Amino acid sequence: MRKVKWIFKRIMFSVINYIFALVLKNDKVENGILIIRLDAIGDYILFRNFIEVLKKDDKYKDKKITLIGNSAWKSIAEEFDSDYVDEFIWIERKRFLRDFKYIFTILRQIRSKKYSTVINPMFSREFPLSESIVKMLQADEKIGSQGDFSNIRNYEKKIADRYYSKLLPGSEQVLFEFERNREFFQRLLDKKIEIVKPKIELKEEIIELDLPKKYAIIFIGASMAYRKWSVVNYAQVGLELQKRYGLDIVLCGGKEDVEEVEKFTHLFGNNFIDLVGKTTLVELLYVLKGCTVLISNETSIPHFAVAIDVKNIFVISNGNHYVRFSPYPKEYEVNYNVIYHPKISLILASKEADILFGKVSRLNIDEITTNTVLENIRKNYRGEL
């Protein structure tokens, strides 16, 4: 069934491409660079600093940069990256894969111009999403990553590789995603890039929220259910932080987590600030900036916290995609602490961690105990509690 759908989508995109080739004229952008980045919010945070590097490079500094991005992180990119991106084109991922009219509209928009260079830096390229767009774009050169097979099948990749004029090689070992992006741009620009870690420079902005002076953020959201630690556990941890360390509790999450607030309230009481589903991504950055401690599922929010220098970050993880997205490399010198599922911890203690690298994990995250989390906080907290 999946292959039938794949064939249908490939025929559909090919027909649209043929029609556009016949009827659309091109407004050639002589110095235009188009970057494609359609993955999740956390992926973007681990990528975005390299746009500035590209923009300031001697080869590309006079060229207009257009970014085709995932609308999920639109507010972040437009707020903090407009100095380096001249134009944004936003795509709703799910809609692009199922709404024919929407597909036609987006592809018509991107087909209407010709770029000097198209760059797709995603190591785990996606078929048909990013690859169909690369095929549709008109450019003098199309540069991508040789990549892996995480999001693409062997036969799909053989076809999609032909859409590019150049594929940059990547090391075969599993890398932390920020390092993977560094690797790509170092090869693209043929120079060493000296960026210590992800960084977001917050602007002088007043968020109209009445926040306490000393507070812990508990972030209960995540993109997938198997990555969410129970709010029952979070409530117990919150009570200990409040009782033992005198920290006020600020509960955060997405709109999809609102129903969990009632359960948290039942266990915790009313003595906390509820911001679940009540802040934009940009506002959440400013809330994070003022916190003493962040406790979160393994999701995009800890990457935000690293990028704005939150001092104490504790991440609860079932071990999914170990190395690619957590933990942070030691040389980054950030207080990013991951509390893993006990089976993952046992493997790490046995010095056989390489069997975990980059793998998907479906271990039950609720088998991580509250005592384990609290003990990790006690041992690794920086500053006075």
Residues 117-138 have pLDDT tens digits of 999 999 999 988 899 899 989 8
- Same domain? 165 vs 237: no
pLDDT on residue 345: 87
pLDDT on residue 355: 73
pLDDT classification of 204: cutoffs 50, 70, 90: confident
- Same domain? 182 vs 223: no
Give dist(CA 291, CA 288) in Å, integer. 5
Is position 115 within any domain? yes
What is the Cβ-side half-sphere exposure of residue 191, based on CA atoms within 13 angstroms?
11
pLDDT on residue 309: 96
Q: How many domains does the chain have?
A: 2
Calculate the alpha carbon distances from 292 to 207, 215, 383 in Å: 17, 6, 9
What is the Cβ-side half-sphere exposure of residue 208, based on CA atoms within 13 angstroms?
0
- Same domain? 172 vs 239: no
- Same domain? 160 vs 243: no
pLDDT on residue 30: 55
Is position 204 within any domain? no
Q: Distance of alpha carbon 321 from its chain centroid, rounded?
A: 13
- What are the two backbone dihedrals, phi and then psi, of residue 138, each rounded to the nearest 5 degrees? -105, 125
- Same domain? 164 vs 224: no
- Same domain? 136 vs 245: no
Is position 310 within any domain? yes
- Same domain? 172 vs 220: no
Is position 385 within any domain? no
| Torsion-angle region of 287 (φ positive above 0: left; ψ -120 to 50: alpha; else: beta) | alpha
In sequence order, what are the residues at sequence separation of 6 or more whose Cβ sits closer than 8 angstroms to the Cβ of residue 252?
A: 217, 218, 219, 220, 221, 275, 276, 279, 284, 287, 301
- Same domain? 133 vs 258: no
- Same domain? 131 vs 247: no
Give dist(CA 90, CA 111) in Å, integer. 14
Q: Quote the pTM value.
A: 0.90
Give dist(CA 308, CA 248) in Å, integer. 21
pLDDT, mean of residues 295-312: 97
- Same domain? 32 vs 128: yes
pLDDT classification of 29: cutoffs 50, 70, 90: low
pLDDT on residue 350: 83
Q: Give the whole-number percent of the chain exceeding pLDDT 90.
A: 67
Is position 200 within any domain? no
- Joined together, the tokens standing for residue 270 give 């009313």
State which residues form the domain around 221: 215-380
